[in-house]
Chains A and B, each alone.
Chain A
Amino acid sequence: MTAVLQVRNIRKSFGGITAVDGVSFDVEEGEILGLIGPNGCGKSTLFNCILGQLTPSDGEVKVDGRVVTGLRPSELNRLGVSRTFQLLQVFPKLSVRENLILAGQEHQGSMMSRLFGPSDAGQTEAADRMIAFFGLGHLAAEPAGGLSYGQQKLLDAAMAFMGGPRLVLLDEPAGGVNLTMLADLKARLAAINREKRATFVVIEHNMEFVMSLCSRVMVMAEGKVLAMGKPAEVRANPAVIEAYLGH
């Protein structure tokens, strides 16, 4: 097993507040790592540091053994690291299909070849496969802004999988999604993980979702790693119950 993602001693301070305080962990290839912890414990900040949206005050991130700290999110994405957002982040005026084509188009060729190439950058087929996979077929031509919240969440996840990423960081994919759709989403994530050997890190508050989907769970509290292990171990850890599950 090789580590797809290696995070070493990441620290991020905003003024006097240390949001992430020396976090280190590895994510193995094909793994689904759950990331849980109370609100404000630094999960999303950690994501933003890993993905280049924020520059960490200290520490190092490696993807496939290559140091990526300081790369811009767009560069990181083209290296095969993709993400979803906690709050809805689709392009409301573009159609569902256009959203997905956009999500895939920057992964092939150069800017110049795209300017003179086909209008869809050869992505329509891949986009339609993704649309079918996420069950959005009847909505393909609709503007994304007209979709329901849950459907937009699905689209957001689908966009993260365009271009065949190696590593996907999902920030609360289940938030605000109804139960039927949630089971759907979980099944699809598991399928992509199995078939494409894509590696996931998932931030989620829905314990049932995390415990059943993830192979390992990392618990954060006050910017630090509190516990790390199999879902059952973590659930039984007294420190975790104290900080999080007990409430």
Chain B
Amino acid sequence: MTAIPRYLRLAFGIVVIAGLIVVPMNFNRYGLFILSQWAVMTIAAMGLNLTLGYAGQVSLAQGAFVGIGAYAAAIMTTQGIPLIAALGVAVVVCFAVGWVLGYPALRVQHHYLAFVTLAFSTLAFLVFRNEDWLTKGIYGISNIPRPHVFGLATNRPLPFYYVCLGSLGLVTLAVWWLIRSPWGRAFLALRENPVRALSLGVDTRRYTLMAFAIGSALGGFAGALYAPLTQYIDPVPFNLSLSLDILMMVIVGGAGFFFGPFLGAMISVLLPEWLRFTQGYYLMLYAIAVILLLIYSPTGILGILDRYLAERRTKTASALRAVAKSKLETVP
């Protein structure tokens, strides 16, 4: 990524942020809902990107954490507790559960770990569906209120979109800080070579658990926004397919790339909407597009960009070497 000049990146970032603030002002209710959903799903995917993309721990349970966060928020806010408190509880609960779910990762890896987390996902879904006293079972929880932020009601779609966007901004900054801190380096070490990391003093056990806990906490964060966004939740959206969806967002966007989840969530949330004109075919077209992308670039969309930049860097470097060599040869 370093090949793009800093000022260009900065300018691009400002344009995108300004666009995300200004352009949706003219959107209708549905457009705003979709865009809010993108922001929420991006947060969940950033969490999984941390666990999977950076620390290399496969998880098929991110959807379950979104569910736990959503139910925590729904149950508490319908009792009159403010969303910010519910959000805090959702994050703490998901952090704790994620930490515990990390323990199997200390023993099993890759597809075995995927199965463990898949089992957890199913377990969470069964709790949402069957524990009527807590979750109201298949009837779901309705009339979930939207929060007041600094005394302003966010009942209308546009203000609530800004709540989602603002939250995404905060999470982005926090994750960016985490990734560039020594922890980010330790997570990468965990993914690239855990044996060597261990021999260099990296407490791989604690970092693995942290990667799971923080990733899961972000899933809970996303869930706590999802509940007031839809204002009604039932168990169905939190089944295994949500976990697979979030996994796909991470992979398609580019696992281990900071902005991968933004792109992945965009494709997963927006592309089906754009393909709606094809009616019954849209899921098929969508699936084919994803397959083709992953054949062309297994490292996702940002992987394509990364490859291009790496190639350019190599070309520049070899050009520089050629120049240096010709200079050496002309010296008598």
Contacts and interface: CB of A to CB of B under 8 A. Distances in A.
A93 interface: yes
A94 B200 CA distance: 15
B188 A94 contact: yes
B32 to A, nearest CB: 36
A132 to B, nearest CB: 20
Contact of A89 (B178, B185, B193, B201): B193
Interface stretch (B15-23, B82-90, B160-168, B202-210): B202-210
Contact of A102 (B178, B180, B195, B202): B202
B192 A93 contact: yes
Given A89-B193, A91-B192, A111-B206, A77 B199 contact: yes
B26 interface: no
A97 to B, nearest CB: 11
29 contacts: A51-B199, A53-B198, A53-B199, A72-B203, A72-B205, A73-B198, A74-B202, A74-B203, A77-B198, A85-B199, A91-B189, A91-B196, A93-B188, A94-B188, A101-B182, A102-B186, A102-B189, A102-B197, A102-B202, A103-B200, A105-B182, A106-B201, A106-B203, A111-B183, A114-B181, A115-B182, A119-B181, A159-B200, A163-B201
Contacts of B201: 74, 77-78, 106-107, 163
Nearest to A93: B192
A224 interface: no
Contacts of B206: 111
Main SS class of interface, B: helix
Contacts of A85: 196, 199
A72 B204 CA distance: 10
Nearest to B178: A115
A247 B58 CA distance: 49
A70 interface: no
A157 interface: no
A53 B181 CA distance: 27
A112 to B, nearest CB: 10
B274 to A, nearest CB: 34
A74 B204 CA distance: 8
Contact of B188 (A91, A106, A162): A91
A33 B249 CA distance: 53
Interface residues of B, number: 23
Contacts of B185: 94, 98, 101-102, 105
A47 to B, nearest CB: 10
A82 interface: yes
Given A91-B193, A94-B188, A106 B200 contact: yes
Given A115-B178, A119-B180, A72 B189 contact: no
Nearest to B198: A73
Given A91-B193, A119-B181, A82 B186 contact: no
A229 interface: no
Interface in B127-182: 178, 180-182
Given A51-B199, A74-B204, A163-B201, 9 more contacts: A72-B198, A74-B199, A75-B203, A102-B200, A106-B200, A111-B206, A116-B181, A121-B182, A162-B200
A142 B40 CA distance: 37
Contacts of B188: 91, 93-94
A59 interface: no
A5 interface: no
A168 to B, nearest CB: 11
Interface in B196-238: 196-206
